[in-house]
Structure 1
């Protein structure tokens, strides 16, 4: 059986327009105090957010469910950072120390593509707006079936609220 490659499978892609300049959207995405406000789908919180935001740096985020119980940890590494334009990173399930775990330990089957990284693009979208595009490492069909697509859309809703708060404070 032939394995799918990135060029043969549609990756998960989510695009959102934010009513704020790119610099503010970037800040919301890259500053741990703001990431803690949006990481996790609706009803979830992120009580821990450690980020060494540089190429080769790592991150570790904790997610708690609506009941206050820790649902899991996500770790990752940054591979490319172009300020206010692009972030390329890996993301994986982790323990509280950042050690990589098999998603099956959380009862999750992921179909992430080998050597594929998530990419976040930040683009000006006229009149002070920013277009944010997330290109995930999971195939779109798998992302739909696993709830990843829905979860990321809920995260983007939370990012929009953080960005709106930053824009008002400016």
Structure 2
């Protein structure tokens, strides 16, 4: 991937190992009733999550800050390989799912032109799963903007959901 200046850019990549089978991690990541439990960083809630999880489908989720501010995100799905891979484009949206700019939420966001988000699910054996999230933001920008910290907090919440599913 190249950035606006035409230079090679390292994409934001976050990896997490879950002590759970891949099917449970996939379920937590793709079922809206579970996504609502983890969407957004620590302290945020997700009062709305509508998912049309299929190639060409779209999702719309709201994350709400502790002070009540709503941030809406849309997702368009481009490729889905069950239990292995999701290729999608995430964007800032209004409550109807219409694309808006990050600046509408007072957020600085530097996306890599033409880059999609990629989520990979790898069965490590022994009931463990490796999830790799590759975002469309440059790694350096993601570090500076708090995206890395936010995604790590989100993955902490995903781990809690997966642990509950594993006990069920």
| Short-chain TM bin | over 0.9
1:26/1:4 CA distance change after superposition, 3 Å: farther
Rounded Cα–Cα distance in structure 2 between residues aligned with 1:121 and 1:153:
16
Q: Which residue of 1 aligns with 2:4?
A: 3
Q: How many residues align?
A: 166
For residues 5 and 123 of structure 2, the distance between their equivalents in structure 1, rounded to whole angstroms, comes to: 33
CA separation in 2, counterparts of 1:37 and 1:3? 36
Query: Which residue of 2 is the match for residue 95 of structure 1?
Result: 94
> What are the Cα deviations for residues 99-142 of structure 1, in whole angstroms up to 9, with x where unaligned?
00011111112110111110000001120100000000000000
Contact preservation (8 Å) 1:62, 1:70: no
Q: Distance in 1 between matches of 2:154 and 2:20?
A: 17
- What CA RMSD, in Å, does the superposition of the two structures yield over aligned residues? 1.2
What's 2:59 paired with?
59
Q: Which residue of 2 aligns with 1:48?
A: 48
Q: Normalising by structure 2, what TM-score?
A: 0.96
Residues 4, 82 of structure 1: alpha-carbon distance in 2 compared, 3 angstrom cutoff: farther
**1:79-118, aligned counterparts within 5 Å?**
79-118=78-117
SS in 1 for 2:134: strand
- Runs of 4 or more, structure 1, over 6 Å off, are none
Indicate the residue corresponding to 2:134 in structure 1. Answer: 135
Q: Which structure 2 residue ranges, 5 or more long, are not aligned?
A: none
- Aligned partner of 1:125 in structure 2 is 124
Gaps of 5+ in 1: none
Shift of 1:70: 3.1
1:3, distance to aligned residue in structure 2 (A): 2.3
- SS of aligned partner of 2:119: strand
- With normalisation by structure 1, the TM-score equals 0.95
Partner of 1:20: 20
Q: SS of 1:48's equivalent?
A: strand
Distance 2:5 2:165 in 1: 41
